[in-house]
């Protein structure tokens, strides 16, 4: 399993401008083969800070996601606003089990 996690920081006004594009990329990505979890969450204490969390079956499915039309559209939407900070990391996980 591959995990992508991190942040995207925009001004609250710019976040409002890309909210529709964010909804579109979330919807399309969640339907992709190999996508286990794909979520954006705005931080309640820091307006404009979006926490990103993804889980993918493999690095290959993540790479296919990166080549998708909806990711190109999302990047296009982001190019129209000012990104104040972006910090994403990839972690490869071995085995997951339920927490008892």
CATH number, residue 37:
3.30.70.100
Average the pLDDT over 57-84 and give the result.
Answer: 97
43: in domain: yes
**Phi-psi sector, 34: left (phi>0), alpha (psi -120 to 50), beta:** left
Q: Tally the domains of the chain.
A: 1
Q: How far from the centroid of its chain's Cα atoms is residue 16's Cα?
A: 16
pTM: 0.91
**Tens digits of residue pLDDT in 29-52:** 999 999 999 999 999 999 999 999
34: in domain: yes
98: in domain: no
pLDDT of res. 32: 98
| Structural domain boundaries enclosing 58 | 2-92
The gap between the terminal CA atoms of the chain, to the nearest Å, is 21
């Amino acid at each position: 399993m591959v995990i992508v996690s991190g942040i995207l920081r925009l001004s609250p006004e710019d976040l409002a401008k890309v909210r529709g594009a964010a909804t579109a990329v979330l919807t399309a990505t969640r339907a992709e083969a190999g996508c286990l979890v794909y979520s954006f969450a705005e931080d309640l204490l820091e307006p404009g800070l979006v926490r990103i969390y993804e889980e993918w079956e493999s690095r290959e499915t993540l790479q296919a996601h990166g080549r998708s039309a909806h990711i190109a559209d999302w990047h296009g939407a982001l190019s129209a606003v000012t990104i104040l900070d972006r910090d994403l990391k990839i972690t490869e996980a071995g085995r997951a089990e339920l927490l008892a």
